[in-house]
Chains A and B, each alone.
Chain A
Amino acid sequence: MFKALLRAVNALIVIAILSAAVLTLKSAPQIPRLPEDLRVLASTPATEIYARNGELIGRLGGRQYVALDRISPHFIHAVLAAEDKRFYHHFGIDHLAVLRALWLNIRQGDDAPGGSSITQQLAKNLFFTFKRSWERKVLEALAAVAIEDRFSKEEILEAYCNLVYFGRFAYGVQRAARTYFNKSAHQLELHEAALLAGLPNAPARLDPFNYLPRARERQRTILVRMARAGYIQPQQIDSLMTCPLHITNVAPPPERGSYAVDATLDQAREHIGNDAVTYGGVRIFTTIDARLQRIAERVVATGVDLLELNLKVPPEGDTGRLEGGLVAVEVATGQILALDGGRNYLESPYNRAVISRRQPGSAFKPVIYLAALENLPISPTSVFVDEPVILTIDKNRTWSPRNYTKKYLGSMTLKYALEHSINTVAAQLIYKVGPMQVVETARRLGVNSALEPHLSLALGSTGITMVEMATIIATIARQGVFIDSRLLNRIEGIGGEPLAELFSVGEERFDAEIVYQLIDMLTGVIDEGTGTIIRRKGFSGVAFGKTGTSSDYRDSWFVGATPTLAVVVWVGYDDNRQMFRANGQGVTGSSGAAPIWADFIIEVTASEPAREFPCPRGIIRTYVQPFNGHISPTKVEGYIPVAIKP
């Protein structure tokens, strides 16, 4: 009986050995060729992105390869404890870990943790996809023993530390140390090293910026393993867990990433292709002004923080944070000087400035007014009646727009109507000029988004991006000369050889005199109308602007320009939720976006000399009674200044 059992076991062992040999022989040709040197990882050059003053503001790809002796020993210990405590004792495959994984796999199924050694993980990162399969596991194991045979343990560990992904676009420990702690890999302290070493396990789920408690939990696990492995004393764990973690979002911009850099890279990909941008190591020179960009990021973050503090607490389940964005375009050139697509890039890299199409509300009215001024026999002094209107859409449908205040003021000039954002007058204008004409005007102003030719365009019911809105405002500030807003100036090869020059020149699309009348009307918005918050905040320079609030307080806009800078600010929720203050009032363009616009424009124009919008020859300046349209060449009590084309 015993002999029979022994024979059966022997037979099983022989079968297992033969099967393993066959599997090895069959799989061996499928293993990828190994490189001569693992430092080949660093052979892909980084693409660098520069601001217009030459400051490096972004970097894509490439690896900051550091030698093992330039990595903190704490990190090495933490990695060994976390990933492979018998690293120095196996030859690519840790038998015990494999047996343990097999056992757990039988008990727990596919959810069981793997038993991959550091060498196997290196093989996986070097050659294979992250799809889990037995066939892949065999190839991985064979590649691991080949790596062990070819390279020293130090070379393997060094390559692993430089290759592994820590989240936040940080490949390699040097980039990770910069991203999370703004220090070099050799400067990492014990508690920081433990936190970093835990991240490769699940970089997104353990992201310290978004999920710090989870990352701290993992940090404790690593410290416990380090204690078990003898790298630290068990009693050190609690004190290390109390060490403050200075998780920073003030890492140098090239390591941090930004909305502006993302948008720049997208534009560069359109010109020279994705692979050239990702692997070519090109130098991209942007239009971004580093100073303005920093101001933009700061005023949006603080402005949205402040606004959020005053908002009604969202119902349970609505966890999205209030967001905001800003785009600033140089009027003279169309260059985007600052672009911020959200309150915090590290928390949410979704670029609202270029991707998100939001309803502009009344911020779209300048387009309606321009179409009307261009195509109807009217002027800023023309009188319209603010009253409930019923406009016929077709045989079966009508449209009855209402004012924001739900009050109607009777007769008024167009200038007054635009200053106070009167909906019924904007509706009458689009009804007269026709929605198709408005769409055509929007196209000439630089809108590429799909626009439905509906009457509700008068109230900004179709979504457009912040960049498109900035292009509209800049074209108006340029008195009808269109320049496509852009982020790229030129692209150079790694050796400085020129690849592309991407400057744009202006194209005269509107009559300057007509547009100047609009500028004058919009100047009144800031001086007398819905945008007076800009003056109350302390901005005294020359500027025009327009508030915008989409239906039910879902979007808050302020758009406007000085003679040198067109700036657009948006505030809202990504899930299109309504914005109400704690006192029940809805957030409007004036109370939401306008203060941020004012903060930005006050700071960036502080050292600028005073400038005026150049007045075209055919324009005369006069005064008008805002409710009956009576014109007086001299200043009269109750009259407002107006620029008209006779």
Chain B
Amino acid sequence: MLFGLFVVLGLVEWQTHLIERLIGRWLNNHNTERQAWGTLWAQEEKTRQASKQLEGEAAMTVQLRLEADRVANFGELLALVPSGESLSISPAKFVGLYLSLPEEQRAEIIKSIELLAYYYTSDWRRALIQRQGDGGAALLLDAHDNILLTLNISPAAAAAISGAGRLQRGGLAHNSAFAGRIYLGEKFISYLFVIPESERNRIFPDPTILLSLPKPLLQVGLAPASNSGFAYIGFETSGAEGLTVISYPISDEAFERLSFALAWQGSDTLFDPVAGADEPLPGFEQDSEAP
């Protein structure tokens, strides 16, 4: 009897695959409870991870390019370039940075007329900036990534302070980067005249920048080095648009010296220029050329 039942069940299974169908349905009813493992899922996980990694890297590159658009000089730009890699900027940005250099350093990179030729008559699409020691290199590329020209950015050009400052609405007090380091503008100007010229060149090599500022210069602020690798000096002026701050990058050395001088004198004023002429600041050498 039992054997007959087995035979019948066997025939039914052979013809209808009943057992497989039942097992298949049962497995699918519990499908979501099982783990996603195996080649297919491993591949999907790897695809997801790769996508996440690449999104992160792309976001970083885009962020770097945005930051590169905001820099005011080659030094700031080179500070942004990751070690062993390159950073792409537009020809217009490159020309802007080039024009911000003093004439002598521009000529070291390329003659203006030659750059003009590339800018207007070639298929120059972008410039790739790379670090090389204290300086850098710029590769001018066409639409197919052919290198049109390789230019050296000397350490001097990289260290030069840009003539183009960064403009911000509002006063220094509104920018937390300058917090605790805001001083009277007239004291700062006085300070520039009492220190020896060699010292002044080390701290602030291009005083002509000050000529371009709208008067009156109300306050001066110092901001320590940020992610860009540069400290800043900010000049607060007042005009038709209210208070504005124009910031320029300065070297760490300049920041240290200025901060030291200010700390020595107190937090809200620079030292007395007359007294300073007779008695040099600690760490500042007396120079016979001093006025």
Contact = CB atoms under 8 A, between A and B. Distances in A.
B228 interface: no
Interface residues of B, number: 55
Interface centre among A95, A280, A495 (most CB of B within 10 A): A280
B27 to A, nearest CB: 4
Interface secondary structure of B, over-half rule: helix
B52 to A, nearest CB: 10
A634 interface: no
Contacts of B32: 33
Contact of B40 (A28, A127, A282): A127
A489 B141 CA distance: 11
Contacts of B40: 32, 35, 40-41, 126-127
Contacts of A332: 147
Contacts of A503: 86, 128, 130, 139, 141, 145, 147
B36 A54 contact: no
Contacts of A32: 34-38, 40-41
A269 to B, nearest CB: 12
B176 interface: no
Contacts of B37: 32-33, 127
B43 A13 contact: no
Interface stretch (B58-66, B113-121, B246-254): B58-66
Contacts of A494: 54
A505 B130 CA distance: 8
Interface string A34-57: 110000110111000000111000
Interface size class of A (residues with CB under 8 A): 35 or more
A146 B27 contact: yes
Given A32-B36, A91-B17, A493-B54, A502 B86 contact: yes
Interface stretch (B18-26, B182-190, B256-264): B18-26
Interface in A112-152: 125-129, 142, 145-146, 148-150
Contacts of A497: 58, 61-62
A620 interface: no
B161 to A, nearest CB: 25
A126 B20 CA distance: 20
Contacts of A95: 14
Given A31-B27, A146-B31, A149-B27, A52 B145 contact: yes
B175 interface: no
B38 A128 contact: yes
B74 to A, nearest CB: 15
A53 B144 contact: yes
Contact of B85 (A33, A125, A281, A501): A501
B145 A285 contact: yes
B167 interface: no
Interface string A470-512: 0000000000000000000110011101111111011000000
Interface of B: 2-3, 6, 14, 17, 20-21, 23-28, 30-41, 43-44, 46-47, 49-51, 53-55, 57-58, 61-62, 65, 85-88, 128, 130, 132, 137, 139, 141, 144-147, 150
Given A276-B50, A495-B58, 6 more contacts: A9-B3, A31-B27, A127-B40, A278-B50, A499-B54, A501-B88
